[in-house]
């Protein structure tokens, strides 16, 4: 049996939770889905539309706000009771926060950031990127089951979900949590002060990555942006270094955009960047490394030195 | 405050990756190495906490002899001393083995705070810090973007997806995984580099009985799935052609 741990916040299901369910359905065996928190009727009913054997609400007052300690305790006990062969998660920031501690407490394998599962001998191998997605690894779990696996967001298309003819049964269990053993005291989530620029509305975006090398070279990118009537954006390291303000950052921790044109200059194409821009209609990548992962998702690519190519584009646009 | 920072040395970003003959690891004999990016931010966060609250910053790295270079760099930036868990096999070991090795090296020192990066640029498990917290029995929080010491505990800002954040209170001792961009990095000064020469780098062995929980069976370059139209030619020709296709085919302006 595969046990999928779905994710919710304030009773609202995280859409990315469908993806490990699809992964589990693809293996052909029984699938159960568990959701942790408090007041989960609506989210559980939504999950029950999938063709799965059961949906379980693992509830406790002290799971209402997420904490790593609360989730590790509740899941350690629940997994021990259910004895699944695999436990699947989505590789969200929440999963990153508790799953390694859970795996350590259970002393079971955890394979993270997985994009595919495939047969290997009698069991499964899991495919995951390594070295900043420059290479891919097939990895097998060692040691006894259950094996924990977290899937990269976007690894499966949500429309591949198999729905059931009737709703799956929903069961509620009381989570085994000792509130006194929860050490984290979370406050309410918040957004930083309203962003000065809303890049989600931009028609064209010129985005710079670490390939730009130094802040003084941003002028060249600005000139290109002006010639294209585009907004300027960046990958995380550029904003981390303070070369551009944080509200120009594209990616999982920044803005999500879908312009007509996304022109990536010296951006490698890490998944955390790509999730924020892959919906763009036309993606152009300029990168000196022909193997850069950004070319995987680009419609047009130029392999070359951006310091030569960008001035040439500016000239060509003005001609 | 007695603070440990776990730092990893990873292959340089610009290094052209090559696979080992058995295709389960890379051939890194001729690679350049650098400090894993979030770990540099973790070190900076530790140095700032020491400046505010006093105490000691100890850097720890598990790996072959080359990682001493990363430890020296950290000492030059201001760490007080270093622990090297010396073992060639740790360069490609899984997260459980590395966390086990680090736990054995750190346990008896009873640190108030342990900092790690949130993820390594090579293996990218995103696990070693959190597994280490569990092994040491420490409260933890991840993807940290701010750290304040308050009422004998910590108040930390955790990054959530899509520009959201959350403050979390934690008791000490604790472990935090640090996100890139939490602060602005300092670089080593000449004075720092000279001072580092006199600082201690203690070498310890890794426990022999650490069990791996995952194994790489094969490593390969990704297959291209999307049809990317590569525009060849000298920069000015390629640029002209790009502008043409964007105007006439993609119609983006
Ligand atoms: C939890 C988490 C959240 C994250 N959130 C985000 C996020 O929201 N947004 C984000 O962007 N990243 C995010 N990251 C970081 C992400 O993983 C990558 O590290 C980052 O996107 C890399 O940025 P980059 O492509 O600019 O730099 P690099 O990966 O260093 O790539 C630089 C590229 O420039 C090319 N280049 C160098 N010189 C030239 C030249 N002269 N001409 C042409 N090309 C050149 C190189 O070939 C290389 O491909 C996150 C990471 C984590 C772990
Ligand atoms: N060999 C190592 N030595 C010291 N610290 C490490 C080592 N491997 C990982 N770490 C720490 O754990 C963090 C997460 O690594 P990982 O789990 O590999 O993504 C890194 O940012 C480092 O701070």
pLDDT digits (tens, 9 = 90+) for B178-233: 999 999 999 899 999 999 999 999 999 999 999 999 999 999 998 877 789 999 99
Q: Is A143 left (phi over 0), alpha (psi -120 to 50) or beta?
A: left
Helix (H) or strand (E) holding A132: none
A235 — contact with chain B (CB < 8 Å)?
no
Q: Which residues of chain A have pLDDT under 70?
A: 193-195
Q: In this model, does residue B105 exceed pLDDT 90?
A: yes
Interface of B with A in 211-230 (CB under 8 A): 211-222, 224-226, 228-230
Instruction: Find tokens 């096999």 and name the residue.
Output: B89
Nearest chain A Cα distance for residue B247, angstroms: 10
> Cβ–Cβ of B253/A204 closer than 8 Å?
yes
On chain B, the residues whose CB falls within 8 A of the CB of A105 are 134
Is the CB of residue B203 less than 8 Å from the CB of residue B73? no
B63 lines ligand 2 (CB under 6 A): yes
- Residues above pLDDT 70, as percent of chain B: 100
The tokens describing A45, both together, are 């009913």
Interface of A with B in 135-164 (CB under 8 A): 135-143
Q: Report pLDDT for B224.
A: 75
Integer Cα distance of B8 and B14 in angstroms? 17
Q: Report pLDDT for B162.
A: 84
Within 10 angstroms of residue A197's Cβ, the number of other Cβ atoms is 14
Is the CB of residue B156 less than 8 Å from the CB of residue B149? no
The CA B247 to ligand 2 mean position distance, Å, reads: 47
Q: What are phi and psi of B6, to 5 degrees?
A: -90, 120
Helix (H) or strand (E) holding B155: strand B153-159
CA A132 to chain centroid: 15
Query: Which domains are assigned to chain A?
Result: 2-181 (3.40.50.620), 199-318 (3.40.50.1220)
Integer Cα distance of B23 and B25 in angstroms? 6
The DSSP letter of residue B226 is S
Instruction: Find tokens 């490394």 and name the residue.
Output: A289
Instruction: Find tokens 């020469």 and name the residue.
Output: B197
pTM above threshold 0.80: yes
Using CA atoms, how far residue B174 sits from A136, A180, A302, B36, B111, in Å, is 34, 17, 47, 22, 9
Contacts of B58 (CB under 8 A, 6+ apart): B2, B3, B4, B5, B79, B80, B81, B82, B83, B109, B111
Integer Cα distance of A210 and B148 in angstroms? 30
Helix (H) or strand (E) holding B33: strand B33-35
CA B102 to chain centroid: 14
Report ipTM for this prediction. 0.96
Q: Report pLDDT for A194.
A: 65
| CB nearest to A300's CB, from B169, B222, B231 | B231
Q: Report pLDDT for A309.
A: 98
Cα torsion A283, A289, A293, A295: sign: positive
Q: Report pLDDT for B38.
A: 97
Is the CB of residue B169 less than 8 Å from the CB of residue B135? no
Query: Which domains are assigned to chain B?
Result: 2-205 (3.40.50.620)
Q: Report pLDDT for B167.
A: 98
B135-193 confidence digits (pLDDT tens): 999 999 999 999 999 989 999 999 999 889 999 999 999 999 999 999 999 989 999 99
Is the CB of residue A12 less than 8 Å from the CB of residue A80? no
Within 10 angstroms of residue B184's Cβ, the number of other Cβ atoms is 10
Within 10 angstroms of residue B192's Cβ, the number of other Cβ atoms is 16
Nearest chain A Cα distance for residue B39, angstroms: 14
The CA A140 to ligand 2 mean position distance, Å, reads: 20
The tokens describing A96, both together, are 């990153």
Q: Report pLDDT for A192.
A: 80
């Amino acid at each position: 049996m595969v046990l999928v741990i779905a994710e919710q916040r304030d009773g609202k299901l995280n859409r990315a939770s469908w993806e490990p369910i699809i992964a589990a359905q693809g293996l052909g065996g029984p699938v159960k889905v568990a959701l942790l928190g408090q007041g989960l009727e609506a989210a559980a009913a939504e999950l029950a539309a999938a063709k799965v054997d059961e949906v379980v609400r693992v509830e406790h007052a002290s799971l209402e706000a997420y904490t790593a300690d609360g989730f590790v305790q509740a899941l350690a006990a629940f997994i021990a009771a259910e004895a699944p062969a695999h436990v699947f998660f989505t590789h969200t920031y929440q999963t990153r926060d508790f799953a390694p501690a859970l795996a350590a407490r259970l002393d079971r394998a955890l394979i993270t950031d997985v994009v595919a599962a495939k047969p290997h001998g009698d069991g499964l191998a899991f495919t995951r990127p390594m070295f900043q997605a420059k290479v891919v690894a097939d990895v097998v779990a060692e040691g006894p089951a259950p094996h924990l696996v977290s899937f990269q967001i976007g690894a499966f298309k949500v429309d591949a979900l198999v729905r059931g003819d009737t709703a799956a049964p929903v069961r509620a269990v009381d989570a085994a949590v000792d509130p006194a053993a929860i050490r984290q005291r979370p406050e309410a989530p918040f957004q930083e002060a309203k962003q000065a620029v809303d890049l989600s509305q931009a028609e064209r975006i010129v985005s710079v990555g670490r390939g730009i090398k130094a802040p003084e070279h941003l002028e060249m990118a600005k000139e290109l942006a002006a010639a294209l009537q585009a907004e300027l954006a960046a990958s995380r390291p550029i904003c981390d270094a303070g070369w551009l303000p944080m509200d120009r950052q594209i990616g999982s921790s920044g803005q999500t955009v879908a312009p007509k044109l996304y022109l990536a200059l010296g951006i490698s194409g890490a998944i955390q960047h790509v999730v924020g821009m892959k919906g763009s209609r036309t993606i152009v990548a300029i990168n000196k490394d022909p193997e850069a992962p950004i070319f995987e998702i680009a419609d047009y690519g130029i392999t070359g030195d951006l310091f030569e190519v960008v001035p040439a584009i500016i000239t060509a646009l003005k001609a | 405050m007695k603070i440990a920072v776990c730092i990893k040395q990873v292959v340089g970003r610009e290094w052209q990756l090559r696979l080992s003959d058995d295709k389960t690891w890379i051939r890194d004999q001729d690679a350049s190495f650098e400090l894993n990016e979030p770990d540099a931010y973790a070190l900076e966060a530790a140095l700032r906490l020491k400046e505010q609250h006093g105490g000691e910053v100890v850097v720890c790295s598990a790996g072959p002899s080359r990682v001493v270079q990363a430890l020296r760099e950290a000492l030059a930036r201001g760490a007080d001393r270093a622990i090297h868990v010396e073992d060639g096999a740790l360069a490609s070991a899984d997260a459980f083995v590395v966390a086990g090795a680090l736990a054995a090296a750190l346990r008896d020192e009873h640190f108030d705070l342990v900092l790690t990066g949130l993820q390594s640029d090579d293996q990218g498990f995103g696990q070693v810090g959190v597994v280490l917290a569990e092994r040491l029995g420490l409260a933890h929080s991840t993807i940290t973007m701010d750290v304040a010491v308050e009422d004998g505990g910590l108040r930390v800002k955790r990054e959530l997806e899509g520009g959201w954040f959350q403050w979390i209170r934690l008791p000490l001792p604790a472990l935090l995984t640090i996100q890139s961009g939490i602060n602005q990095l300092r670089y080593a000064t000449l004075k720092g580099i000279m001072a580092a020469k006199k600082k201690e780098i203690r070498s310890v062995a890794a426990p022999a009985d650490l069990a791996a929980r995952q194994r790489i069976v094969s490593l390969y370059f990704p297959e291209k799935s999307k049809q990317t139209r590569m525009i060849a030619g000298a920069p000015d020709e390629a640029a002209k052609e790009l502008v043409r296709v964007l105007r006439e085919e993609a119609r983006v302006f």
